[in-house]
Amino acid sequence: MFSPASRRAFLQSAAGVAAAASLSQLDFLGQLPRATAQDTKLDPKIVRLNPEIEPLVQLIEESPRNKLLEEVAARIKSGTTYREVLAALLLAGVRNIQPRPSVGFKFHAVLVVNSAHLAAMSSPDQHRWLPIFWALDEFKGSQARDIQEGNWTMGPVSEERVPPAHLAKQQFIEAMDQWDEAKADAAVAALARTASSNELFDLFCRYGARDFRSIGHKAIYVANSWRTLHCIGWQHAEPVLRSLAYALLNHEGGGNPAQNDFEADRPMRDNLSRVKKIRPEWQEGKVDEQATKDLLATIYGGSPSDMCELVVELLNKGVAPQSIWDGLLCGAGELLMRQPGIVGIHTLTSSNALHYAYQTAGDDETRQLMLLQNAAFLPMFRQGMVSRGKIGDQKLLELQPTESTAEVSVGDIFAKVSSDRMDAARLTLGYAMRHEDPKAFIDHARTLIFLKGNDSHDYKFSSAVLEDYAHVSRPWRDRFLATSVFNLTGSGERSNPLVERTRAALA
């Protein structure tokens, strides 16, 4: 959150008159009750939701798109909390949006809830509602598309099939391994009612990372749903986990993966053997810049197997996992730089999800698998880029900062994002090298998403890369931040009319 002094400093350095004008467009959000940082944290005393949560979900489901923001604004003014709105938004999504034919497309309305929440948590209190209002409108668009495609709605669980608590975990594992949707649905309902969130996370993140389908969205859904549940409360877990299990079992036709040898499933099968070769002291290593460089080279020229073998070799040589993550996250950024677009975006959003799983899982083998699966996925993303056109040959290590005797403001950088992203990357690299904490850059990037973002990927991508900046070690993080401008929103983009709609709703 800005202090008054740092707020003034940011406005002075960010973009001069243009940036100040942009920020002033958000002043109307101050009319709402502030969603403070404390509001976004789970109150451990809350066991059950307020009884009004179901009517709030129904309000979101049933209100016409052109009236929903006004209806929710009225509820907030009368006392509905941030957590209640966030919970109702997620529950409306999992109940009404089918994660098929792929865990993407219209389902982004669910995947983006956590990204909007992360943006909200990182914003000043008075701006914290705007990402949530955007996500409400996004839900209505996806709901309309789902209706056109058959109007899927999550039905009640078959209670007669729900196993007793002591059998639920084994039945769930068997169902997921067999790709059996009905059996998994019953088992996950039992787990949601009886198992702890920590116990289940290790289980779900392994299934979220087990196959390269839906360009990383399975792993993204695991991470994003868990993170949102941490805010809204585990009492909402059952419908969310049922939706999640259903999504993870999507195999897009072509036969049951349990009975076939599909390319999408091979890395996990191979990596289950590789983890047995990793030394027990694998986390006790040293940062090695050359190891990071070797990973970057292999991402571009090697196979998934080459990448995984290199990771095992480096860990066994005593290289710190941090150096491997530096290579994976920066390598994802380099792929985006070489071919900006939908595939490049997901190299970073999926890496963010797998890194979160790595940080959060409690089981040593699960953490190793997250590292290895991320290593395997990046060459698979590179291979997926081939059908989408030319892949550039830019190298992250060869990117040079723009030399300038004058201080370059973040406003200058984001103006350049709209006209020449490579030049913007050079400016960003120079800025990051000069500023140990590029908070002004990150805050300005988020503000432009609020004002001009018009796609779920704007929120998903920005939340992922601005978070992962802190997960990359120096000096690599400066170059990582520079790659972000290949998909961040520039100041020259058209403003999102939803800002004016929100202004009117709160008038």
Alpha-carbon span 50 to 235, nearest angstrom? 11
pLDDT value for 53: 81
Q: Average pLDDT for residues 41-70, to the nearest whole number? A: 73
Q: Which of 72-76, 323-327, 332-336, 353-357 has the lowest mean pLDDT?
A: 72-76
What count of other Cβ atoms lies within 10 Å of the Cβ of residue 157?
17
DSSP state of 110: H
Q: Which of 507, 466, 454, 487 is nearest to 135 (CA)?
A: 454
Q: Does 372 score more than 50 pLDDT?
A: yes
pLDDT digits (tens, 9 = 90+) for 211-254: 999 999 999 999 999 999 999 999 999 999 999 999 999 998 78
Q: What is the pLDDT of residue 20?
A: 47
**Distance of alpha carbon 341 from alpha carbon 322, whole angstroms:** 27
Share of the chain above pLDDT 90, in %: 79
- Which pLDDT band holds residue 183 (cuts at 50, 70, 90)? very high
Q: At what angle do helices 456-468 and 108-121 cross, to 10 degrees?
A: 50
Q: Does the pLDDT of residue 367 top 90, yes or no?
A: yes
The SS3 call for residue 214 is helix
Cβ atoms of 19 and 411 closer than 8 Å: yes
Mean local confidence (pLDDT), 145-157? 93
pLDDT value of position 19: 45
Rounded to two decimals, the pTM is: 0.90
Report whether 147 contacts 181 (CB < 8 A): no
Residue 281 buriedness (CB in 10 A; 0-12 / 13-18 / 19+): exposed
Predicted confidence at residue 36, as pLDDT, reads 59
Lowest mean pLDDT among 38-47, 73-82, 211-220, 468-477: 38-47
Is residue 27 scored above 90 in pLDDT? no
Mean pLDDT of the chain: 90
Per residue in 449-482, pLDDT (tens digit) is: 999 988 899 999 999 999 999 999 998 999 999 9
pLDDT in the model for residue 498:
87
Distance, in Å, from the CA atom of 44 to the CA atom of 174, rounded to the nearest integer, reads 33
* Range from 35-44, 47-56, 350-359, 451-460 carrying the lowest mean pLDDT: 35-44
Q: How far apart are CA 102 and CA 107, in angstroms?
A: 8
- Which pLDDT band, with edges at 50, 70 and 90, does 46 fall under? very low
Percentage of the residues of the chain whose pLDDT score is greater than 70: 89
Q: If DSSP states are collapsed to H, E and C, what string results for 53-81?
A: HHHHHHHHHHCCHHHHHHHHHHHHHCCCC
Q: What is the arithmetic mean of pLDDT over 190-199?
A: 95
Residue from 331, 327, 328 nearest 291 by CA = 327
Which pLDDT score is estimated for 353?
A: 98
Neighbours of 210 (CB within 10 A): 23
- Local confidence band at 80 (pLDDT 50, 70, 90 cut-offs): very high
pLDDT at 285 over 80: yes
Token pair in block for residue 120? 């909200």
Taking the C-alpha atoms of residue 307 and residue 214, their distance in angstroms, rounded to an integer, is: 21
- DSSP string over 329-380: HHHHHHHHHHS-SHHHHHHHHHHHHHHHHHHH---HHHHHHHHHHHHHHHHH
- Taking residues 174-179, what's their average pLDDT? 98
Worst-scoring range by mean pLDDT, 8-12, 25-29, 107-111, 303-307? 8-12
DSSP sequence for 436-503: SS-HHHHHHHHHHHHHH--SHHHHHHHHHHHHHGGGSPTTHHHHHHHHGGGTSPPTTSPPPTHHHHHH
